Structure 1
Amino acid sequence: MKLKLAFLLATALIVSPSVLFAQDRGGVINVATIGEPPTLDPMASTADLVGIVTQHIFETLYTFDKEWKTTPLLAESLPEISADGKTYTIKLRAGIKFHDGSDMASDDVVASLDRWIKVASRGKQAASFIDKIEATDPLTVTITLKQPYAPLVSLLAFNNSAAIILPKEKQEEPMKEFIGTGPYMLKERKADQYIQLVRFDGYKSREGDGNGYGGARHQYLDEIRFVPVPDANTRVEAAVSGQYDYIDSIPVESFDKIKSSSATEPVVLTPFGYPVFVFNTAQGLAKDVAMRKAIRQALSMEDMLAAAFGSTDFYALDGDIYPKNFIWNTNAGVEGNYNIADPEGAAKAAKAAGYDGEKPIRILTSRQYEFHYKMAQVAAEYLKLAGFKVDMQVVDWATLTQRRADKALWDIYITHSPFLPEPALIGSLAPTSPGWWDTPLRKQTVEAFSAESDPEKRIALWADVQKAMYEEIPYMKIGDFNAVAAKSKKIEGIQAAPWPYFWNASIKK
């Protein structure tokens, strides 16, 4: 019997016994990130780096607990949903303050959600289902839908392209003031040097213990500094020397080196997620599905994973979008369409699709995630064997997130995703997401899945979506992988998590 949620991922979010006891208050931690976030407006970006930093500043109505179930954050409780599935009544917590000292009320939430459905890609995804958002009383918001939309609460809980709650007077686009309700507030940002967050003394935590991203958020630390360290090898050496208190995204081949350090220890999330090649289905060579199929036919997922992660201790060859320990696991569409590694056949298929060998396939990638770059190198060689020209564009991550928004600049970009608790959170399912998959088959399968509220029926409908993804290839899953980070042995209360968080963390005295 399949687990209802990914057990291994869930256990990575369980709060360890050490944080259940009183912890020391005070101190500063320095967090080494893979680079400079392109923005501090989490509505405006799906980049994990943006979510990692800004989840400390801004909060959403809901979040996810240690079992990846939605749980209230700024909302008092989960929404009351009408029998027809079209009306969501959301009660808000009283006494919540913004960083400017003002009180959060329903009109702030309405203004924020109105901004979300206009600015955020996942908000736009929900917008077509939403009829109206109203403030029913000072602490109640009502969302009325045109038709049932099962993923709504999960979308409201997600921390990138996030439905953050802002003061109604601070709704500018682009964002000019970074005023949230979170446990820490922005003090200073020096580009390419650091982002400095300090404790918000007006913060009102939920009661009880920490529970994944939910539950209590204790502010033991005085200050958190996020420092961009783009070079992966530099992050490794900094981890070994103990230069930082937490170091994100360590190449897996450095695991033993980190393990032998006297200052730092590895943090492993098993399984973390999957790397993907996202296709530009709107413009350029990859617009033609026959060309996308030829590209897929050429590639060896196994060789790309081996180059990126080395040992099978850190990766698994698996074409199913979700692994077998998720209820969403299905092999629909996978057979014959994954890990084909047939450059000769791909050359014939590309020629039949009209490829003349003149235009290059433009692959957009970054070395800040070193495994992205290694996969790109292997992919380029297989594509050359199939007769394709390849233009590999290696840029910093912030530039990549900007360029991927321009349909004229790329054919494939490389990214990765954790295994998300709700498939509707997968960015490429939204036609507004870079890649711009927008076909009748997408609309038919994704909307049927999103409109169904019965859990068992949704599982079958997800199989239809995965089959459509393999048929039209908006993106290619490469395989499963484990993520490695590192933390100082002087820090307690930090848990392995897809988007590491530092409330509930403290420095041992």
Structure 2
Amino acid sequence: MRRRALITAVAAAGLGLAAPAVHAQSSAARTLRFVPQAGLASLDPIWGTQYVVRNAAALVWDMLYGVDSRFRPQPQMAEGHMVSDDGRVWTIRLREGLRFHDGEPVRGEDVVASLERWMVRDPMGQMVRALRQDLAAPDDRTIRLALSAPYPKLLHALGKQSAPCAFIMPERLARTDPFTPIAEAVGSGPMRFRADLWEPGRRAVFERFPRYQPRPEPADWLAGGKRIEVETIEWQAMPDPDAAAAAVASGEVDWLEAVLPDLAPGLKRNRSVSVGIADPMGSIGSLRFNHLHPPFDDVRVRRAVAMALDQQDYMRAVIGADDVLWRRIPSFFTPDTPLYAETGGEILSGPRDPEGARRLIAEAGRQGSEVVLLKATDLAPLKAMAEVSETLLAALGFRVEVAAMSWGEVAERRARKDPPSQGGWNLFHTWHAGADCATPAAYSAIRANGEDAWFGWPRDEAIERAVAEWFAAEDIATERAAVARLNEASMAFMTWVPTGLFLSYQAWRRNVAGIGKGPMPFFWGVSKA
């Protein structure tokens, strides 16, 4: 079916002109059918940092703390905590009655093992790990962390929404090597994962865990009472966005995490469907370089790509003609947030200079280099951005090999440090939620700490020095100055190239209530009539 014909059919489905799929009412009310942004190919939230993995993990595992919509960490599994006068010893007390899905109680030793595994992979966790003198469980409900120096942002680290989150697992799973996927998903959160029904990359089923004890406060992002109002949540991957839109229009599914902009008008005309912006803070598109191998191990080549890249090309490919849904950003940070800075961003905001870019590539001796571009074919924004990059890189004189695969396969391959000719890679596209890019606190992609950095493994002392200055800042003015230096250093080093900020639609059936806005889909409080 052609796109325009499908848009008409999507609208007609809500006007009585197309026959909707019918489900038994009793079953429909108990099951929420959700279409995620991509297929769920892994369920280890420490080994894999994809948003889709984080989103599923938030159903299965809980956290000691969770950030609310004002980015304040609130007690979650924790009953509370005490901090020594010198700020170096934290004592956290667990709530009573916490259980894993296998019926075993959540113990202090489980928390210790979970945090130790998380610390290896998470940038904030790595900071905690560098300061750690002791991490132990004096008893089953107590965790004691002794540091060599104060770390005032510890609760932000434990409660942040950016991947990898500090999810609490049974000790036997948490002792798994952080670079090896866990063998099973036994959680501490509100939903139990049905491994027997899992079709990796296609379908995942979660059942309400009756022994979960939600907090009494109202739910707010990752904080408060995570009360599940349905019995089952079924994730159905639909790589074809047209088919996904038709499915929510007909009632085959209840909620789409992402809707292509040109499909939104048809869905808005459907009386049975609601459409809205998923996250008002938007997402920052990213062209990510591998810094370990030529040609992008040379800063001149990375900057050359930035000189030639036009964010409008990428955003029009992702969004289409609706310019209201995107904006240029000469920054690595989220616009309209307190720390936003454009210092050093002239390389992205000034006139495009492809000729200058080609001269810079020649100066580096990298003209005609072969590059491997990973292209996720099942995520429309990433597929669109990769196609723009393929054209751009070819115009700059590179010989481009496009490795087309699913987003799950991209996630596996991007973790490889092998040369591109031996199964590695040079570039891939992703995006970062605006909530993750508002401050350096949980911003994994901004770091440049070499082997411990996010995929691409950049290393730059000026960037790391600016990050440290922000963490040490004691007032907002000092934080802003540190972020300005961080943006300037990141632009000079060109860790990766921001391809613009864009907003995304979500859609849901009108008989579904409680769907909110934020950097991830929050399922607690969502009900279905």
The secondary structure found in structure 1 opposite 2:470 is helix
Structure 1 position 187 matched with structure 2 position 202 = no
Runs ≥4 residues deviating over 6 A: none
CA distance in structure 2 between the aligned counterparts of 1:53 and 1:45, rounded to whole angstroms: 12
Distance 1:124 1:231, change over 3 A: farther
Structure 1 position 472 matched with structure 2 position 472 = no
CA distance in structure 2 between the aligned counterparts of 1:339 and 1:487, rounded to whole angstroms: 40
Give 5+ residue unaligned stretches, structure 1: 1-24
| Equivalent in 400, 403, 426 of residue 411 of structure 1 | 426
Structure 1 position 242 matched with structure 2 position 259 = no
Structure 1 position 37 matched with structure 2 position 40 = yes
Q: Deviations over 1:326-385 (max 9, x none)?
A: 11111111123446422111111111111231x223222213221222222223323333
Contact 2:40–2:204 under 8 Å retained in 1: no
1:212 CA drift (Å):
2.5
CA distance in structure 1 between the aligned counterparts of 2:500 and 2:152, rounded to whole angstroms: 28
Amino acid at match of 1:412: L
- What is the 5 A alignment of 1:5-154? 27-77=30-80, 79-118=81-120, 123-124=125-126, 126-154=128-156
Amino acid at match of 1:480: L
Q: Alpha carbon RMSD of aligned pairs, Å?
A: 2.2
Corresponding residue for residue 424 of structure 1 = 441
Distance 1:272 1:374, change over 3 A: same
- What is the 5 A alignment of 1:439-458? 439-458=460-479
Q: Deviations over 1:237-281 (max 9, x none)?
A: 223322211112221221112211233221312232211111111
1:56 CA drift (Å):
0.6
Amino acid at match of 1:335: E
- What is the 5 A alignment of 1:353-392? 353-357=364-368, 359-392=369-402
Contact 1:271–1:480 under 8 Å retained in 2: no
CA distance in structure 2 between the aligned counterparts of 1:294 and 1:166, rounded to whole angstroms: 44
Amino acid at match of 1:467: E
1:434 CA drift (Å):
0.5
CA distance in structure 1 between the aligned counterparts of 2:34 and 2:153, rounded to whole angstroms: 32
Query: How many aligned residue pairs are there?
Result: 483
1:125 CA drift (Å):
5.2
Corresponding residue for residue 207 of structure 1 = 216
CA distance in structure 2 between the aligned counterparts of 1:69 and 1:290, rounded to whole angstroms: 40
1:140 CA drift (Å):
2.4
Contact 2:289–2:426 under 8 Å retained in 1: yes
Structure 1 position 315 matched with structure 2 position 326 = yes
Give 5+ residue unaligned stretches, structure 2: 1-27
CA distance in structure 1 between the aligned counterparts of 2:465 and 2:495, rounded to whole angstroms: 15
Q: Deviations over 1:60-119 (max 9, x none)?
A: 111111222211111123x43444443322222122111122222222211211222235
Contact 2:275–2:508 under 8 Å retained in 1: yes
Corresponding residue for residue 349 of structure 1 = 360
Structure 1 position 222 matched with structure 2 position 227 = no
- What is the 5 A alignment of 1:158-307? 158-159=160-161, 160-173=163-176, 174-188=181-195, 189-268=198-277, 269-307=279-317
The secondary structure found in structure 1 opposite 2:492 is helix
Corresponding residue for residue 16 of structure 1 = none
The secondary structure found in structure 2 opposite 1:438 is coil
**Higher RCO, 1 vs 2 (CA within 8 Å, ≥6 residues apart):** 1
CA distance in structure 2 between the aligned counterparts of 1:91 and 1:75, rounded to whole angstroms: 6
Amino acid at match of 2:409: T
Contact 2:306–2:347 under 8 Å retained in 1: no
Contact 1:64–1:157 under 8 Å retained in 2: yes
TM score, norm. by length of structure 2: 0.86
Contact 1:61–1:74 under 8 Å retained in 2: yes
The secondary structure found in structure 2 opposite 1:416 is strand
